[in-house]
Structure 1
Amino acid sequence: MKLKIYTDGGARGNPGPAAIGVVVCNEKDEVVFEHQDTIGEATNNIAEYCALIAGLEIAYRLKAKSLQCYTDSQLLMNQMNGSFKIKTDHIRTLSERARRAAKQLDSVTYHHLPREHVMIKQADRLVNQALNQGGH
């Protein structure tokens, strides 16, 4: 099965209270699953990675074989594609976790979308819902 994930992560304060949002779609861009969660205190970059990892794990549980990952984080996309070096240990650890999760699937690609894209906006809404529900 082929799936797409649209992910977003954010922190209020950077670092500050952080949350993730994941929208999972089929090939026709029909939403099949949504996930939101708070992740404690983190930076925006950490939240972006946590959202990607959650999306990869959800796709695996949904039995995806092929996955297209979409994010508005240029940094995340370029680091996962190998275009940018990872300079900090905590981000390197998260990147390695994401790569391990991706290896459970047959094919994973990473793509950048503008934050105005409808599915990225939906993932962002999930981030804000999680933060608001958490009292942040």
Structure 2
Amino acid sequence: MSGALWDDPIAPPAAPDLIVEADGGSRGNPGIAAGGAVVLDATTGEVLVEVGVYVGMASNNVAEYRGMIEGLRAAFEREPASVRVRLDSKLVVEQMTGRWKIKHPDMQALAREARELIAGRQVSFEWIPRAQNARADAAANSSMDRRESFRRDLAAELGGLTGAGRRGIRG
């Protein structure tokens, strides 16, 4: 598979340009579901984009994939050299790195979509504890509460003068 995948905290790769924190939730599992993501400037920690993607009736794992995919799309619009994806779903991290098989057909299709999106790009995956994923969780919950998708481009709201923009990453 093209696209570099990494999730070994002992020997990290060079620092990424952007970080995507993604999460998904379902009220009922399956139930009302949404994914959420934030795109961060890896150097400053500034939130550049916040997205919530309303999925409808689905599992939390399907919602997690949707949040990750939308977060990656938002990150790639900025043309970064590398992206680190941080998720609190061990399942999605292990599936995206190829260590665990994907048995559910819905998740197979989503994993294929994600892999096509990252093909030829420098992307790493990292599992994080749920407590460290509060921003993406809040975006997913906001989308579930509203029952609609949303996107906030905070870099544009700030006039594009974020740390990323100052370093040549499209803001």
Q: Same fold (TM over 0.5)?
A: yes
How far 1:59 sits from its partner (Å)?
1.2
Secondary structure of the structure 2 residue equivalent to 1:94: helix
Say whether 1:96 aligns with 2:112.
yes
How far 1:21 sits from its partner (Å)?
0.9
Tell me which structure has the larger Cα radius of gyration.
2
Normalising by structure 2, we get a TM-score of 0.73
Say whether 1:75 aligns with 2:91.
yes
How far 1:89 sits from its partner (Å)?
1.8
Identity %: 36
For residues 101 and 85 of structure 1, what CA distance do their matches in structure 2 show? 19
Q: Which runs of 5+ in 2 are unaligned?
A: 1-15, 149-171
Say whether 1:107 aligns with 2:122.
yes
* CA root-mean-square deviation: 1.5
Encode CA deviations 1:18-68: one digit per residue, 9 max, x unaligned.
111111001222111111121111101100111111111111112222100
Normalising by structure 1, we get a TM-score of 0.91
Which of 61, 73, 85 is matched with 1:45 structurally? 61
Which of 107, 115, 134 is matched with 1:121 structurally? 134
The residue type equivalent to 1:91 in the other structure is M
The residue type equivalent to 2:31 in the other structure is G
Secondary structure of the structure 1 residue equivalent to 2:130: coil
Could you list the structure 1 runs, at least 4 aligned residues long, displaced by more than 2 angstroms after superposition: none
Say whether 1:36 aligns with 2:49.
no
Number of equivalences: 132
Q: Which runs of 5+ in 1 are unaligned?
A: none
